[in-house]
Amino acid sequence: MAVALRCLRPLPSLLLRSSSAVSRGLPQATRGCPALLLEGCRQCDQQMLLSRQLATKKAKGKGQSQAKVNISAALVEDIINLEETSEDMQAVVEALKEDFSRNLNVRTSPGALDHITVMTKDGKFPLNQLGQISQKSPQLMIVNMTNFPESTAAAAKAIRESGMNLNPEVDGTVIRVPVPKVTREHRESLAKLAKQSTNKSKEALRKVRSKSITQVKKSKNNVSEDTIRLLEKQIQQMADEAATEMDKLLAAKTKELLG
């Protein structure tokens, strides 16, 4: 609102000079207040609209815990790409969801072994690119390493250290993986892994938020303090919503694992 008032103060003098301005051309916008009334300055439009949004949020926020900010992405596209920020945050949520689905299941299946990372002398590879994975019986899975026999030991080590409570047994180029019984201890172990994965994802989310806020602050010399403050609130709000979604995923997975 303060920005809007500053823009209105020069109105009388601008009107007095309007006749001479027509012959000489419109005056240049001043640094403190673009001549919105004379030339429709986009920057001043942006500042005035954001100021009105802030005033509206404050008014609506009276008697409430916190007003929700919802800035148009197009309005601040010169400062930050809010849609890209939202996509980056959602990507972290989706990665957590995929991790839960792929790696944290009470019943171990061949598909759970597919993406275990195996460190070989040629680099890191998913287990399913090195060996043929199959289920011999409900209690036994087989990993055939005939195509890459030199990576058999590394594959067995990766399975053992996967955090899935598996103890593989090597027989030549064949890795036998007994499927553990579903004990209470095993369920609790998986629930702890789910919590750890969620914490790691929240850390990744904080990095996305910090990166975005840093980008916004780089424009502090070109836009109003109200604009910076609103954008910081919007980004924090987006991060909070993503974190809440993660908490819901964790609660659902924990309930599934513990039964």
- pLDDT, tens only, 9-57: 444 444 444 444 444 444 444 444 433 333 344 454 455 445 445 544 5
Note the pLDDT of residue 143. Answer: 96
| Position 83, amino acid | E
Note the pLDDT of residue 156. Answer: 96
The answer to whether 99 touches 116, Cβ cutoff 8 Å, is no
Q: What pLDDT, in 10s, does the model give residues 201-215?
A: 999 999 999 999 999
Task: Kindly report whether the global pTM for this prediction surpasses the value 0.95.
Answer: no
**Among 60-74, 98-112, 150-164, the range of highest mean pLDDT:** 150-164
Q: What pLDDT, in 10s, does the model give residues 236-256?
A: 999 999 999 999 999 999 999
pLDDT bucket at 108, cuts 50 / 70 / 90: low
Partnered with residue 117 across adjacent β-strands are 126
Q: Is 248 helix (H, G, I), strand (E, B) or coil?
A: helix
DSSP state, residue 146: T
pLDDT bucket at 107, cuts 50 / 70 / 90: low
The answer to whether 38 touches 26, Cβ cutoff 8 Å, is yes
In whole angstroms, what is the distance from residue 79 CA to residue 216 CA?
A: 6
Average pLDDT value for residue range 94-106: 87
Note the pLDDT of residue 148. Answer: 95
Which position has the higher pLDDT, 157 or 31? 157
Average pLDDT, the chain: 79
Q: How many CB atoms lie within 10 A of CB 7?
A: 22
Distinct helix (H) and strand (E) counts, the chain: 11, 6
Angle, vertex CA 67, rays to CA 243 and CA 220, nearest 5:
80
Domains annotated on the chain, with CATH: 73-103+183-258 (1.10.132.20), 108-178 (3.30.1360.40)
pLDDT over 60 at 130, yes or no:
yes
Tokens linked to 73: 């992405």
Note the pLDDT of residue 50. Answer: 53
pLDDT bucket at 154, cuts 50 / 70 / 90: very high
Note the pLDDT of residue 66. Answer: 60
Strand residues in 121-179 grouped as ranges (E): 123-126, 132-137, 140-144, 169-171, 174-178
